[in-house]
Structure 1
């Protein structure tokens, strides 16, 4: 039984045309063994258009940058050409040729980017989608049903329990609104593997977070708790692999036509996906910490206001006590005793709130630092990938 995660299906949209074809062909060779959990299908359809739009946006960003640089350089170099013309007494014909060459200098780059955009982003949002049609033909009826109302409630409660206990999968998504997503697809997968009495469960994902894998001596292995759960619930052996490994094994064991370049693209995409997933986690963690900080600061402001009010009350009654008669003094003492106890309680609450603020600020600041570090890592990987691509093109 072979199960594909959402990120594997979406790779068909993100790969270059040749790599996409090889990925889909490899899936076709696994067709009889493929199965897609309902949660995966749901997330795929929800994110598909975003991926298409992101692909187009990336090309449009590059074209906009080229256009800006073109205008800047045309002006700068154009001014230099005019200065040269005045100093070197260029003929009008020579000056015209220089301006023509300048105007045409960016055309090959723009043409190439537009060509790649047409190949890579051949699908419109409101147009027929050949990639979707191909995936539907490959998967056919091999996908699961959604939970019923009772089963969904039970799965949600279990996802909540596992999140708090940090039991995989999904506990690294604790800060997300839909923290239960990974557990839902996992539960649906286990149910189907048990129904089929599968001997092996091959789960393909580019997710490399610690709630799926453990890193041992630089290598990622399936989290032992997941392996144990599959064996205990289904009697099956779990094999957790990336899209890159799937393609490499499809070439080796299924005689699939998969190039080294396609495997390289899958590897780069896995690294990028892993970094982006961790960036999303740290961003969500920082946002959640900021939200909680606002709530705690509001609580602190209220406590400070109450504490000041009680301090004023204590000061007033203490002054009145100095001039009070014995009977009034007893009443003042009783009132002061109660109010001082209330103030002490509030001061204890303030101390706990201040500790909470410090802890949340540490979480927020650490998350922001981790996000910035990962963003720099991502930029390095993308720059290296561009260098490899330009070397291959040359």
Structure 2
């Protein structure tokens, strides 16, 4: 399979469908970083606003290593300018909200301590008839004592919250003061596409809307019906621009496309012997057929590690962590067990799920296994909506896996029998199988959280809608 020229015609023609998923160790990978074309999706450029100044500088320095290979499609440039202000405002709002949230939490803490004191006083009077102890408690834990107790802690927290203002990006609508914009412009210079002819854009939108999307031909078919036909065709317009430019580029036989987008209209879901999704083979075949170039699609973390490996860019591990964190925005429309492992759950959804389930925040750190943690948190996000504990957000993905199943046969060699869970807490001990990540979490959780988790899983098994599967 590694020598296309020596293959039989049928094997050669359809080799993209039988080749393994792209590996970071592919021998040909280096060519994409040294003499190919590199196209960065809009989300890669917008992510620059999400980094800390130090990480942003490292990323921009890394991109300068491949500057001669970069090319900016018009569609990417247009979306970048349409969305950059929204991203900046969103960042500013989040920083402002963090300070308000902190003040509210401190206020809640004071209120909770006072309520705890009052509750204890009532119990002392009701059951012990001890008015003296009740009065003494009033003096020991007075409002002033509570305020003084939380004062130093509040000052420390507020000091850190104020320091976050240093990371704000304040720019005017015309771009003044936006150092990110100026550095991105300097990065691409003249290597940008001109706007395509309006008639050509119209034909491409019609092709997407009338032919490709109804037939689920990648890329972009998941956006069908979202807004106007033009707005929903953004991925396809980008794809067509890229193919046309690559075909017209001399001595460019490799194209590297970098994007956060791993939805099913760019990535073929796992299955048929594959444990991980992969870029659709159709895309590689189409690029080769129409532009005569080999295509490689990478996520930002993999791409920047590639620059580091092949071109010796200096990127710190803390910066890779920021790159991966900023990639969280690209959440698939549905989450299978495989997708959960490779997709960090958004913090706001995690917080909402924990609150809806009545679980402690410390549960997030119950297990040191990152894979098990991601699986647990995604399951909680899905379970709390499926069981009516909370209302899902508009963009929230469907979670399509469960932590347990009732079956006579073991669904996977790694799953353990239900008897491994605690007697009296799990109703299906003799007739169920438990996912290893769930068993691991249960064993590491507090008694309180353990009971809540098992209760949710048991309710979900009893409910079990048709679209949830024990993956």
TM superposition score normalised by structure 1: 0.65
CA distance in 1, matches of 2:215, 2:115: 67
CA distance in 1, matches of 2:396, 2:208: 30
Deviates more, 1:100-109 or 1:20-29: 100-109
What root-mean-square deviation, in Å, do the aligned CA atoms of Structure 1 and Structure 2 show? 3.2
1:215–1:221 contact (8 Å) kept in structure 2: yes
CA distance in 2, matches of 1:132, 1:102: 43
1:172 aligns with 2:222: yes
Corresponding residue to 2:235 among 173, 182, 193: 182
Counterpart in the other structure of 1:137: 186
Deviates more, 1:233-242 or 1:192-201: 192-201
CA distance in 2, matches of 1:20, 1:13: 8
Counterpart in the other structure of 1:267: 324
Corresponding residue to 1:118 among 159, 166, 170: 166
Corresponding residue to 2:77 among 19, 41, 57: 41
Report the Cα offset of residue 17 of structure 1. 2.6
Report the Cα offset of residue 167 of structure 1. 1.0
Q: Which is higher, the Rg of structure 1 or of structure 2? A: 1
Deviations 1:204-231 (A, max 9, x none): 0010011112234233322111111110
CA distance in 1, matches of 2:194, 2:139: 76
Corresponding residue to 1:128 among 174, 177, 180: 177
1:194–1:234 contact (8 Å) kept in structure 2: yes
Report the Cα offset of residue 86 of structure 1. 6.3
Corresponding residue to 1:374 among 368, 386, 397: 397
User: Structure 1 or 2: larger helix share?
Assistant: 1
1:255 aligns with 2:312: yes
CA distance in 2, matches of 1:258, 1:97: 49
The 5-angstrom pairing of residues 94-243 of structure 1 reads 99-119=147-167, 121-126=168-173, 127-160=176-209, 161-177=211-227, 178-197=231-250, 198-216=252-270, 217-243=274-300
Closer/same/farther in 2, CA of residues 81 and 104 from structure 1, 3 Å limit: farther
SS of 1:175's equivalent in the other structure is coil
CA distance in 1, matches of 2:115, 2:393: 46
CA distance in 2, matches of 1:95, 1:77: 9
1:159–1:180 contact (8 Å) kept in structure 2: yes
- Larger RCO: Structure 1 or Structure 2 (Cα < 8 Å, ≥ 6 residues apart)? 1
Closer/same/farther in 2, CA of residues 213 and 81 from structure 1, 3 Å limit: closer
1:57 aligns with 2:85: no
2:46–2:80 contact (8 Å) kept in structure 1: yes
SS of 2:260's equivalent in the other structure is coil
Deviations 1:304-350 (A, max 9, x none): xxxxxxxxxxxxxxxxxxxxxxxxxxxxxxxxxxxxxxxxxxxxxxx
Report the Cα offset of residue 62 of structure 1. 2.3
Report the Cα offset of residue 188 of structure 1. 0.8
Closer/same/farther in 2, CA of residues 85 and 253 from structure 1, 3 Å limit: farther
Deviations 1:96-143 (A, max 9, x none): 676444233212122212323422x23334551011111111111111
Deviations 1:16-38 (A, max 9, x none): 33322221111111111000100
CA distance in 2, matches of 1:151, 1:241: 28
CA distance in 2, matches of 1:69, 1:80: 16
CA distance in 1, matches of 2:221, 2:299: 20
SS of 1:239's equivalent in the other structure is strand
